[in-house]
Structures are given as structure tokens and as C-alpha cells.
Amino acid sequence: MIGMEKPVLAVLCGDDQARELAESPAVQGIESSAVVRYTGEAGLADALRDADVLFVYDFLSRAVPDAWHAANKLRWLHIASAGVDPVMFPGMRDSDVVLTNSRGVFDDSIAEYVLGVILTFAKDLHGSLDLQRESRWQHRESERIAGREVLVVGTGPIGRAIARMLTAVGMTVSGAGRRARENDPDFGTVHASAVLTDHLPAYDYVVAVAPLTGQTKGMFDSAAFAAMKRTARFVNVGRGELVVTADLVGALRAGELAGAALDVFDTEPLPPESPLWTMKNVLVSPHMSGDFTGWRDTLVEVFADNWSRWQTGAPLRNVVDKELGYVPSDR
């Protein structure tokens, strides 16, 4: 419409991603109602100048803080991930910019992944694969998962999806979150994360899926691992920085826990020299637990849905509480 100024949308993405995005029907819909500026990390400050909205599609990028000085008109920032820690810095937190995330996209996929690594441990599927490489037939006994105790640390939607799936296959699940409570619909008992170590000795599996905040950073340290059963397995599908990696390596070496399945790391890609690659009973995967085929389309659709809400003045979905560092649960 003549005379009506279109909003400016900056999209932070890699070069390959810009092509993908431009081909997406959801983005083509947005392009009719916005001036869209695709940018890599180097051009981000220029793209942010006079932009109304920033869509962080490259959610692995750590470039937003350094370009933030140029965000003179920004009103809304959306990130294509569940964790918002890459854009949680003082300048952002103290601004009036509304922050939304992609809560919900990864929940069930990550839950399937967690169940997969738990069954890998219980049925020693990695042991079978090792023996298969040597064409060796060696019968072993395996563990049941039914009745085993699981603690899910993080009671957001991903943690809830994990709890529901593990409960459905007969495991006994509790949660750990900010507030202790009983009768939670997904967890039953939720322990307070502040006293996590008191509760860890009871569990066969401990699953980390908390958001990364000042409170949760490094919560899995030597004291936590020492408190776990020697037969326990630790699963991290949250953020690498929830863990003090050196403490985990030390605890595994000392036999203070029996194994770890790690999809996230404090440095990604995990450096080739990391001892985790070669440790027995450690399963390393490259930050992919939620990334089902079609996930990128779904991420764009989540943003496009919020875009149409923003245009009509409707309330945005998945608004992050910038004090807490995540979208507060209704529960």
C-alpha cells in the first residue's frame, strides 16, 4: 500500500540458510509484508540499524551482543531455539525488546532421543555394536527399564515431554525445578534444584534439560556426580554449561557414575582432544537430539505464526521472562 511503511525484519542466518529460507513458503509470505534483510554475523550491526524485528535463525551464533549497539529501533527478537542463553546479555535484558523462542518444536523429538539413549545403556546396545565390529558372539544379561527411577532436571515443556514418555514405558519419574512441589501432573514430585544433591542418590538415570541461567550454570559438579549412584547414568540434552565438564570426566574415571549420554557441550563442536570422545560408557552426539527431519521448516512456521500475530497486534506466543531466562510455565 502506497504511503504505508513496511516493517524491517533482520534475519541472522548462515549463507546456506539464506537460500533455504528464501525458498520457504512461510518466509515468502512474510516477504510480502516486510523489508527483509538477510545477514550473516559480519553484517549484523548494519542489518539491525532501523530494524523493527530480529529473527535469529542461526541459533548457534553468539554475534548478537556485539552488534546490539546498532539496534536503535528494535522491538522484538525471536530465536529459532528453545534455549535463549545466546541472546541473554545485560543490554538485551535491560531493554524493552520483547523476546520470544521456539518452545514446543523439539519436545517430543528430544523425549524420543532420551528414551533411546536410556535403552542403549540398559540393553548394552553400544556393547553389541562393539562386539559386532569384531564378529564376536558374546551373550550378556541386560537391564530392564521398567521400574527404574529417573530424575528430570528441568520442568519446562521438554522436561515434561520426557517425563510423559518415560512414564509411558514403565519408568518412575520425578522432576527437579525452581520450586519443590507435589502432585505435578507430569512429574508427581518435583524437588527443588537448590537441594538437588540431597535427592540424587535415589536415581538410576538423571536427565539434564534445564535452561541455562545464572542459577543452573555448573549445577552438575563434582558434588552432584559424587552423590549419584555408582550405577547411575547421566543424560544431558539441555546445555553443556549446566555441567562442569572436568568434574564429569573425573567422576566417570573414578567410577562415581556408570555412564553419560551427552548431546550438548560447553564448547561446540566438541574439540577433537576432548577425553569424552574416547571414554568408555560415554555416548557423544553432535547437538542433534531434537532435530528431526523437517525441523527447520517447523522453526520457520513458528516464527511466521508469531509474525502474523505481531502484525495484527495479537499477543505473541512463547514470550520469554527475561528475569527467569525462559518462558514461564502455566503450571
Q: With binding defined as CB under 8 A, does residue 109 bind a copy of itself?
A: yes
Closest CA to 232 of 268, 213, 263, 208: 208
CB closer to a copy of itself out of 117 and 257: 117
CB closer to a copy of itself out of 55 and 113: 113
CB closer to a copy of itself out of 183 and 293: 293
Q: With binding defined as CB under 8 A, does residue 299 bind a copy of itself?
A: no
Q: Which of 1, 137, 255, 323 binds a copy of itself (CB under 8 A)?
A: 137
Q: With binding defined as CB under 8 A, does residue 129 bind a copy of itself?
A: yes
Whole-number Å distance between alpha carbons of 256 and 259: 9
Residues in the chain: 331
Q: Tell me if residue 230 is catalytic.
A: no
Q: Which of 36, 64, 92, 117 binds a copy of itself (CB under 8 A)?
A: 117
Q: With binding defined as CB under 8 A, does residue 192 bind a copy of itself?
A: no
The three cell numbers locating residue 152: 528430570
**Are the C-beta atoms of 143 and 191 separated by less than 8 Å?**
no
Least distance from a copy of itself to the Cβ atom of residue 45, Å: 28
Q: With binding defined as CB under 8 A, does residue 280 bind a copy of itself?
A: no
CB closer to a copy of itself out of 180 and 284: 284
Q: With binding defined as CB under 8 A, does residue 293 bind a copy of itself?
A: yes
Taken in order 213, 214, 215, 218, is the CA torsion positive or negative? positive
- Segment contacting a copy of itself by CB under 8 A, of 11-19, 68-76, 138-146, 245-253: 138-146
Q: Tell me if residue 136 is catalytic.
A: no
CB closer to a copy of itself out of 66 and 268: 268
Selected catalytic residue, list 75, 287, 309, 317: 287
Per-residue exposure over 216-236, b if at least 16 CB sit within 10 Å of its own CB, e if not: beebbbeebbbbbbeebbbbb
Closest CA to 209 of 168, 267, 276, 150: 150
Q: With binding defined as CB under 8 A, does residue 320 bind a copy of itself?
A: no
Selected catalytic residue, list 78, 103, 160, 239: 239
Q: With binding defined as CB under 8 A, does residue 73 bind a copy of itself?
A: no
Give the CA angle between residues 6, 315, 90 to the nearest 5°.
80
Q: What is the 3-state secondary structure (H, E, C) of 247-267?
A: HHHHHHHCCCCCEEEECCCCC
Per-residue exposure over 33-65, b if at least 16 CB sit within 10 Å of its own CB, e if not: ebebbbbbbeebbebbbebbbbbbbbbebebbe
Query: β-strand 8-12 against 53-56: which pairing, if any?
Result: parallel
Least distance from a copy of itself to the Cβ atom of residue 289, Å: 8
Taken in order 84, 58, 285, 114, is the CA torsion positive or negative? positive
Least distance from a copy of itself to the Cβ atom of residue 253, Å: 18
CB closer to a copy of itself out of 93 and 277: 277
Whole-number Å distance between alpha carbons of 312 and 271: 46
Q: Which of 57, 106, 113, 326 binds a copy of itself (CB under 8 A)?
A: 113
Interface size with a copy of itself, residues (CB under 8 A): 51
Q: Which amino acids are annotated catalytic?
A: 239, 268, 287
- Contact set with a copy of itself (CB under 8 A): 108-109, 112-113, 115-117, 119-120, 122-123, 125-126, 128-129, 131-132, 135, 137-146, 165, 168-170, 268-270, 272, 274, 277-278, 283-289, 291-295
